[in-house]
């Protein structure tokens, strides 16, 4: 990373576009596999009853934070390099394009995951003679896979509900396997790729894609830290390369702790538990508090002690100094004021949503230990 700090733009061109190439290849390959329609059907068929589960809303909100990146500082760091009058809504539509591509990528990834995973149904059956079901005597369409029933056959009482080898070996339902986090990426999907022809090649592409995605995530998250500290402390700006080397060395040390394995006589799970700590305690609670503070400061506190002519002349009818100052700043940069919808979101809806999510996160909290 030290030697790439000046050429990071060229690196990002590859690391940002290569995952889409791999996703496209895996998508085309996945939908051509036998049984892929079952996985896609499971993926696209909604279960409205799950909307009553508070944890579903928590997971959805967490996914938005991780996917779009609000609260991490990355968006603000990147936007600070734009032209002052760059209109992200009318001229280049940066915000709309970024959000649309992000959501489309997540949607496409679902097809890639579920279409490939269901291809191992017959392979799992051949490895599980104890089930009394053989792929030679029963077609794939007659299997019941977590809510699926073929209209051409009667219900078959089998215990196998599959999403790759993990479900085959553990007997768990597909939704239970999909919730296992790292297991889906590092166990279930690689083992599904192992059943395909030219398995080593597919595996190399898949893990190379994961590596490039990890690099992109590191670039984005680090840029927020580097930009903020460089603007605040000139000594860091003048020694940018040294600071980047130290920062990524720190990343490496933290990453090594996640790779640890403690003796089984000690009641400690090692690296996997540290990773759960970072996910649950570090990002969920920490990010929630950070975003709530950002919204409250921008909407109610920002600009209170800074008189501005815009507040008396061109600001909205809302009497709160913070939001009026923020609207005036946007008017100066974008040459138009955001509508009432955005102001209500910043002042009421966003804080209320974050408070409700905090409430459910507290009362439906699951201890990872």
Binding residues for Na(+): 67, 102, 213, 216-217
Contact 303, 322 (CB under 8 A): yes
Exposed, middle or buried by CB within 10 Å (0-12, 13-18, 19+), for 198? exposed
Cα dihedral 358, 65, 191, 200 in deg (nearest 10): -160
Q: Measured between alpha carbons, how far is residue 366 from residues 49, 158, 275, 278 in Å?
A: 21, 31, 15, 15
Residues making up the annotated binding site are 67, 102, 213, 216-217
The encoded tokens of residue 23 equal: 């996703």
Rounded to whole angstroms, how far apart are CA atoms 147 and 145? 6
DSSP string covering 106-121, please?
A: HHHHHHHHHHHHGGGH
- Exposure string over 250-269, b if 16+ CB within 10 A, otherwise e: eeeeeeeeeeeeeeeeeeeb
- Could you tell me the two tokens for 135? 């792929």
């Amino acid at each position: 990373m030290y030697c790439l700090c000046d050429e990071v733009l060229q690196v990002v061109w590859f690391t940002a576009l290569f995952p889409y190439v791999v996703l496209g290849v895996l998508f085309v390959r996945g939908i051509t596999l036998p049984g892929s329609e079952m996985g896609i059907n499971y993926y696209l068929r909604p279960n409205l009853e799950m909307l009553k589960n508070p944890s579903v809303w928590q997971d959805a909100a967490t996914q938005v934070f991780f996917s779009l990146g609000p609260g991490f500082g990355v968006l603000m760091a990147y936007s600070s390099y734009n032209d002052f009058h760059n209109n992200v809504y009318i001229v280049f539509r940066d915000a709309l394009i970024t959000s649309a591509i992000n959501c489309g990528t997540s949607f496409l990834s679902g097809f890639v995951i579920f279409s490939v995973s269901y291809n191992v149904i017959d392979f799992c059956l051949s490895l599980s003679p104890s089930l009394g079901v053989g792929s030679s005597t029963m077609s794939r369409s007659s299997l019941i896979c977590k809510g699926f029933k073929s209209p051409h056959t009667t219900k078959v009482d089998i215990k196998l509900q599959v999403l790759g080898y993990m479900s085959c070996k553990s007997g768990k339902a597909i939704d239970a396997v999909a919730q296992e986090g790292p297991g889906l990426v590092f166990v279930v999907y690689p083992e599904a790729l192992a059943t395909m022809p030219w398995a080593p090649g597919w595996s190399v592409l898949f893990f190379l894609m994961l590596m490039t995605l990890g690099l992109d995530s590191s670039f984005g998250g680090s840029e927020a830290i580097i930009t903020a500290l460089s603007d605040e402390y000139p000594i860091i700006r003048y020694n940018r390369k040294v600071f980047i080397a130290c920062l990524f060395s720190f990343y490496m040390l933290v990453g090594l702790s996640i790779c640890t394995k403690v003796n089984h006589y000690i009641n400690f799970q090692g690296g996997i538990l540290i990773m759960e700590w970072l996910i649950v305690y570090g990002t969920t609670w920490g990010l929630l508090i950070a975003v709530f503070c950002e919204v409250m400061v921008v909407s109610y506190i920002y600009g209170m002690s800074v008189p501005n002519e815009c507040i008396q002349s061109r600001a909205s009818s809302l009497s709160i100094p913070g939001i009026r100052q923020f609207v005036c700043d946007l008017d100066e940069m974008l040459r138009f004021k955001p509508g009432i919808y955005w102001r209500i979101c910043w002042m009421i809806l966003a804080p209320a949503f974050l408070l409700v999510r905090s409430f459910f996160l507290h009362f439906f909290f699951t201890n990872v230990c």
